[in-house]
Amino acid sequence: MKNQRWLSISFLTFFFTWGIFLPYWTGWLTIEKGLSVPAASIIMGVGMIARSFSNFLVFPYLTARSSYIHVIKWTSILSLILLIFYIPDSPYIVLFIITVLFSAVYPIILPAVESGASVLMQKERVHYGKSRSFGSIGYTVALLVVGAATAIWNEQAILYLMIIGLLIAVVFFSRPGPIVLQRIPDRSSVQKTGVKALFATRGFLVVMVLGILLQGAHASYYNFGFIYLDDLNVNGFYIGIILNVAVLFEILFFTQADRLLSKVRISTMFLIAAIGSTVRWVLVFLVPTASMFIGTQMLHAASFGIAHYAFIQYISVKLPHSQIAAAQGFYAAFAMSLSTAILTFPAGFLYEVSPGTAFLGMTVCSVPAIIIVLTTRKKFAY
């Protein structure tokens, strides 16, 4: 029970800050720091690239030499220190350096907590879903709190809420955690073998490409959703509520996914996700209103939820145990980070042309995903 509670609070504290950083940081840079949308996009894009490489290279290096508890604790402390450097007025180059460093350090907390969860599941039989739901709650609360705070004060509240959230995280993660997570994990040679053999596994490359395309297609939404609604003159409080709609549909989907998709082919899941993603971005482009944006939020369950679930199902069913960790590493680095980072650059320039065009541009990922599924599902039988 104690370890279950520790894991739940860990997810809650991290995802509260993630619910501030992910949807609001680009908007905060443009509104409070005076950057143009392309300039902010460059900073966030490079930051996401740094995040992908730190998750793929730095995180395994740290956990091979220290315990999960120490990695979580010290990355939280360093993240808080970097965050404080945002307070003074700074030129563009300083903001660039701070953001890239922060983006490289802060997201390491998540794979460290996720890996700790895997260990606790194996050793202590904790319930992952129960604890992970607290992460979704934290993200939801963050969106509501930021929306209310920016409506009462101004967008500068975003920075101070982030500082408060990370300060709480530092205090919590500085306390003794589960004993099993205080030991240096055993990195067996089996895992390394899994990395080498991973791309030789039938169908993995196709599934990885689909994951990269469909998760990358959220670049405009993650970076400009807040700015887009602000440009439509939506009150800051209601922006938080609107962004929460997607999270609520995501939570609802995951609670029912095992029942609804138990007999659905993985390729069909990817096809549904790709079609849902395409419809979502086309509608935002065609009908540039807050009402349409709200309506398309329910498609987040398809564009993100089903795509993510399909990948997890694939590696759980098709890959041997020795390759699962490597597959997760590739997915976290390239699908959840690097693809979004790369697409942030053109999306920023498209947003300057027309806000809706930035969303329509994401179909450059979703439409090819439809084609890939239709042309490979029989050959690779996934």
Question: Using one digit for the tens of pLDDT, what is the confidence trace for 271-300?
Answer: 999 999 999 999 999 999 999 999 999 999
Mean per-residue pLDDT, 183-212: 72
Q: Give the pLDDT mean for 33-60.
A: 86
pLDDT of residue 190: 44
Look at residue 129 in the predicted model and tell me its pLDDT: 62
Average the pLDDT over 216-243 and give the result.
88
246 against 312, higher pLDDT: 246
Average of pLDDT values for 318-325?
66
Q: Which helix (H) or strand (E) holds 186?
A: none
The count of residues in the chain is 382
- The reported pLDDT for the residue numbered 118 is 67
* pLDDT band (50, 70, 90) for residue 323: low
pLDDT at 217 over 60: yes
Q: What is the mean pLDDT of residues 94-109?
A: 94
Reported confidence tier of residue 363, pLDDT bands at 50, 70, 90: very high
Phi and psi angles of residue 127, each rounded to the nearest 5 degrees, phi first: -95, 110
- Cα-based angle 335, 341, 347 (whole degrees, multiple of 5): 115
**Residue 192 predicted with pLDDT over 60:** no
Q: How far is Cα 330 from Cα 336, in angstroms, rounded to an integer?
A: 9
Q: What is the pLDDT of residue 236?
A: 76
Better pLDDT: 262 or 347: 347
The better pLDDT of the pair 117, 215 is held by 215
Please check the confidence at residue 360 and state whether its pLDDT lies above 50.
yes
Handedness of CA 235, 238, 242, 244 (dihedral sign): positive
Mean pLDDT of 17-31: 90
Rounded Cα distance between 341 and 339, Å, is: 5
Residue 193 has pLDDT above 50, yes or no: no
* pLDDT, greater one: 326 or 21: 21
pLDDT tens-place string over residues 64-92 = 788 889 999 999 999 999 999 999 988 99
The mean-pLDDT minimum among 3-17, 66-80, 256-270, 363-377 falls in 256-270
Side chain identity at 181, as an amino acid letter? L
Pinpoint the alpha helices (H) of the chain: 2-31, 37-53, 59-63, 68-84, 92-105, 109-123, 128-152, 157-173, 189-198, 204-216, 219-231, 236-260, 266-286, 290-296, 300, 307-318, 321-330, 339-353, 355-360, 363-380
Least confident of 14-23, 247-256, 325-334: 325-334
The region of weakest confidence among 66-70, 168-172, 273-277, 361-365 is: 66-70
What's the start-to-end Cα distance of the chain, in Å?
Answer: 38
Percentage with pLDDT > 90 across the chain? 42
What was the pLDDT predicted at 187?
A: 53
Taking residues 149-175, report their average pLDDT.
92
**pLDDT at residue 251, as a whole number:** 82
| Residues 247 and 140: beta-carbon distance below 8 Å | yes
Residue with tokens 């360093």: 78
CB 149 within 8 A of CB 163: no
Average the pLDDT over each of 28-37, 49-58, 157-166 and give the range with the smallest value. 49-58
Give the torsion sign (CA, 132, 223, 276, 300). positive
Residue 171: exposure state from Cβ atoms within 10 A (0-12, 13-18, ≥19): exposed
pTM, 2 dp: 0.74
Question: 210 falls in which pLDDT band (50, 70, 90)?
Answer: very high
Integer-rounded Cα radius of gyration of the chain:
20
113-141 in b/e form (b: 16+ CB < 10 A) is: bbbbbebbeeebebeeeebbbbbbbbbbb
